[in-house]
Amino acid sequence: MLDDFLIRAGLAAVGLSLATGPLGSFVVWRRMAYFGDATAHAAILGVALALATDLPIGLGTLTVALAMAVTVAGLSARGWAMDTTLGVLAHSALAFGLVAVSFFPTVRTDLSSYLFGDILAVSRTDLALVWLGALAVLALLAWRWQALLTATLSEDLAHAAGLRPDRERLILVLALALVVAVALKIVGALLIAAMLIIPAATARSFARTPEAMAGLAILIGALSGLGGLGLSLWQDTPTGPSIIVVAAGLFALASARRQA
């Protein structure tokens, strides 16, 4: 069954949304959208690094995404003007990555697959890595769920209850880096943040509790993934952007329903 590239692609999309649903909810609640962008854009730099050192691409992106996420989290804890800082970091990481990658002629021709994803080329190994990564993120978030939620509502409340908000923030940073590494192949570096934010924002319209929102975001993410795959096959469009187009369509529908 896994021999069929379409089935592998579908399973990869569903696997990814297991992680992006709950993590994306936290990104929305904590207003970390730009943070997600900076981390995701750094992944291109990770690709270059991996090629230069002959390491697996996934390891390269994971390392660089983690370094970027930790840097940004550190700066924000010190109270930098985050809007500007993140803007500088996100776009510089992308630009440096693109320049670095251009030194590798083989990738040069294949650059768009890193920018926009290449879900139809997902191998069995890729698929296994996507699911492993997504389940790891899901487990991490489930383990820290109560503490993460308390710290998100109010860092002071968390402190007073003996929790460590800074440690919970680090958990999210780690999860974000994992998701970036996993999602690069599927939606590409440019659209990872969209995959985090749009399904979660869509789920908000229907949810009354944080858990319901995270669960619905998984569902909407999976639907977008499968729908985008279909759109891509039908119209021969790039798959990553097609997935986000479907997600955006669902968001528009949900917003319209809310207005009505």
Partner 1 sequence: MSLLSAEHVCVRFGAEEVLHDISLTVAPGEIVTILGPNGSGKSTLLRALLGIVPVAEGRILREAGLRIGYVPQRLTIDRTLPITVRRFLSLPVRVSDAAAAEALARVGMAGQEGEQMATLSGGQQQRVLLARALLGKPQILMLDEPTSGLDQPGEAAFYRLIEEVRRDTGAAVLMVSHDLHVVMAASDRVICLNGHICCEGTPRVVSSAPEYRALFGLGTQGALALYRHEHDHDHDAAHPHHHRHDHQHLHDHARDHAHDHA
- Whether residue 122 contacts residue 9, with contact meaning beta carbons closer than 8 Å, is answered with yes
Is residue 146 part of the contact set for partner 1 (CB under 8 A)? yes
Taking the complex as a whole, the smallest distance from the CB of residue 223 to partner 1 amounts, in Å, to 20
The one-character DSSP state at 209 is S
Side-chain half-sphere of 192: how many Cα atoms within 13 Å? 34
Exposure string of 77-104, with b = 16+ CB inside 10 Å and e = fewer, is eeeeebeebbeebbeebbeebbebbeee
In Å, what is the CA distance from 94 to each residue of 90, 99, 160, 232? Answer: 6, 9, 40, 25
In the bound state with partner 1, the residue whose beta carbon lies nearer, of 20 and 150, is: 150
Distance between CA 104 and CA 21 in Å, rounded?
Answer: 34
Q: Which stretch binds partner 1 (CB under 8 A): 14-22, 90-98, 121-129, 153-161?
A: 153-161
The reply to whether 7 sits near partner 1 by the rule CB under 8 A is no
CB of 29 to partner 1, least distance (A): 5
153 binds partner 1 (CB under 8 A): yes
Q: Please state the separation of Cα 126 from the chain's center in Å.
A: 16
Binding mask 36-75 for partner 1 (x = CB under 8 A): ----------------------------------------
Asked if 28 interacts with partner 1 (CB under 8 A), we say yes
Closest approach, Cβ 153 to partner 1, in A, equals: 7
User: From the list 59, 120, 210, 249, which residue makes contact with partner 1 (rule: CB under 8 A)?
Assistant: 210
Q: Which residues contact 74 (CB under 8 A, 6 or more apart)?
A: none
- The residues of the shown chain that bind partner 1, judged by CB under 8 A, are 28-31, 146-147, 149-150, 152-154, 156-161, 163, 201, 204, 207-213
